[in-house]
Structure 1
Amino acid sequence: MNPKEIIARRIAQEFSDGMVVNLGFGIPNHSADFIPESVNVVLQAENGALRFGGTPTAQTSDPDLGNSGGMPITLLPGASTFDMRTSFAIIRGGHVDMTVLGALEVSENGDIANWLIPGVLSPGMGGAMDLLVGANKVIASIQHTDKKGNSKVLKQCKLPLSASGVVDMIITNLAVFIVSKDGLVLTEVAPGVSVEEVLEKTEANVIVADNVKEMVLA
């Protein structure tokens, strides 16, 4: 299982019945392919869709239907589509229970940088800043290290912030962290990953929970 699938599968375990969940582009959108069969979650795309499911096949794909990353989606019974103004009224009105966004960096106190690397072409901030302050719970999804092995879970973010102190949970391909008032708490590790490996590859200060569990990736 590749790192992105590990993260996407673990994200899907946070879905529960009746939740309105916004998914950002990239790995978060991929989590729609792993919704547990027993869970009736209402997924929202910031570009104007409510109640969608997994990726369609080439035969069932509709070019007019896409998620926040422009990839095809499957609308479920009872789904609706609408304009961007309505979508952001939902977000800014506090009607999104949880948002899951990709990140470039996250910090131990819940800061997130996910929109700009100075000097590198950026697609822009999109709706991230609205979601980070409008959603009731924020999950940051991120590969634990960069290509050189440097931690992306930091004491302080080095890139321009999208929002400060808003992240509640961090899901990486190695671990799950809860951002608490006391600091960053390690609660889960991926299959085959030890607590020691997570600590070695994490720049941030980490509090190890008394009972660290193995991620469920069903």
Structure 2
Amino acid sequence: MNKLNRDRMAARVAQDIPEGAYVNLGIGLPTLVANHLPADREVLLHTENGLLGMGPAPARGHEDWDLINAGKQPVTALPGAAFFHHADSFAMMRGGHLDICVLGAFQVSVRGDLANWHTGAPDAIPAVGGAMDLASGAKNVFVMMDLLTKTGDSKLVETCTYPLTGVGCVSRIYTDVAVFDIRKDGVHAYDLVDGLSLDELQRLCGVPLI
């Protein structure tokens, strides 16, 4: 089984973002998507700390530390970019003005419930950030994550056991082995990596797949 690395996962997500979309990329793995958007496609990237028109990461040595994303990573600003107060940025998120948000996750249920801010462990540090606002306000919620945890448990589950970020909000999941669409009739799996069958994928997930 040839799992996708992080850059190939990011490129797969970028492939599905349409021309003219307003998109928020969550902290962590989703930030890589900015580096893989086609140059001939106009996509407006939004960050909740107050930037619309974010570009790819700068080359090493060319960082401007006044330009950062919500994860405090250096970014670039494309021509025509706008800067604004973070309260206005959250109003954009909550007001349904974003077409897509791409978030990481600890778990996603077969009904599209999202858990990505806290594992519930006593020593874990909660990190909700703007995830709840994005999960409830974006028109489409995409999740980008490895399918399995380091201990081999599936992050796609029947029911989330971690505290929820949003209920029934996730429409698509991009993983290192397959893409999943969450629909009314169940979870549809496609774009499986080479060497992985649907039967084997279902065994890994432990949930019904179509």
Q: Say yes or no: TM over 0.5.
A: yes
The TM-score range, normalised by the shorter chain, is: over 0.9
Aligned counterpart, 2:77: 75
Deviates further, 134-143 or 58-67: 58-67
SS in structure 2 of the partner of residue 206 of structure 1: coil
**TM-score, normalised on structure 2?**
0.93
Aligned counterpart, 1:147: 150
Q: Structure 1's 175 and 161: CA in aligned 2 closer, same or farther, altered over 3 A?
A: same
Contact 1:3/1:143 (8 A) holds in 2: no
Deviates further, 52-61 or 144-153: 52-61
Aligned counterpart, 1:94: 96
Aligned counterpart, 2:38: 36
1:121 is displaced (CA, Å) by 2.6
1:123 is displaced (CA, Å) by 4.4
Contact 2:182/2:188 (8 A) holds in 1: yes
Aligned counterpart, 2:182: 179
CA distance in structure 2 between the aligned counterparts of 1:16 and 1:155, rounded to whole angstroms: 30
CA distance in structure 2 between the aligned counterparts of 1:57 and 1:51, rounded to whole angstroms: 18
Q: What one-letter code is carried by the residue in structure 1 that aligns with 2:185?
A: D
Q: What one-letter code is carried by the residue in structure 2 that aligns with 1:153?
A: L
Q: What one-letter code is carried by the residue in structure 2 that aligns with 1:142?
A: M
Contact 2:107/2:116 (8 A) holds in 1: yes
* Number of matched pairs: 207
Contact 1:15/1:39 (8 A) holds in 2: no
Residue 23 (1) aligns with residue 25 (2): yes
CA distance in structure 1 between the aligned counterparts of 2:193 and 2:40, rounded to whole angstroms: 23
CA RMSD of aligned residues (A): 1.4
1:38 is displaced (CA, Å) by 2.1
Aligned counterpart, 1:160: 163
1:120 is displaced (CA, Å) by 3.1
**TM-score, normalised on structure 1?**
0.90
Aligned counterpart, 1:199: 202
Contact 1:102/1:114 (8 A) holds in 2: yes
Aligned counterpart, 1:210: none
Deviates further, 168-177 or 118-127: 118-127
Aligned counterpart, 1:125: 128
1:192 is displaced (CA, Å) by 4.3
Contact 1:7/1:27 (8 A) holds in 2: no
Q: Structure 1's 39 and 190: CA in aligned 2 closer, same or farther, altered over 3 A?
A: farther
1:197 is displaced (CA, Å) by 3.0
Aligned counterpart, 2:57: 55
Deviates further, 178-187 or 191-200: 191-200
- Write the deviation string for residues 176-204 of structure 1: whole angstroms up to 9, x where unpaired: 11110011111221344332332221122
Where structure 1 has 5 or more consecutive residues not aligned to the other structure, the ranges are: 208-218
Aligned counterpart, 2:141: 138
- Write the deviation string for residues 54-99 of structure 1: whole angstroms up to 9, x where unpaired: 1101332101111121111010001112111010111111110010
Percent identity of paired positions between Structure 1 and Structure 2: 40
Contact 1:107/1:204 (8 A) holds in 2: no
CA distance in structure 1 between the aligned counterparts of 2:108 and 2:22, rounded to whole angstroms: 24
Where structure 2 has 5 or more consecutive residues not aligned to the other structure, the ranges are: none
CA distance in structure 1 between the aligned counterparts of 2:173 and 2:54, rounded to whole angstroms: 24
SS in structure 1 of the partner of residue 190 of structure 2: strand
Deviates further, 114-123 or 143-152: 114-123
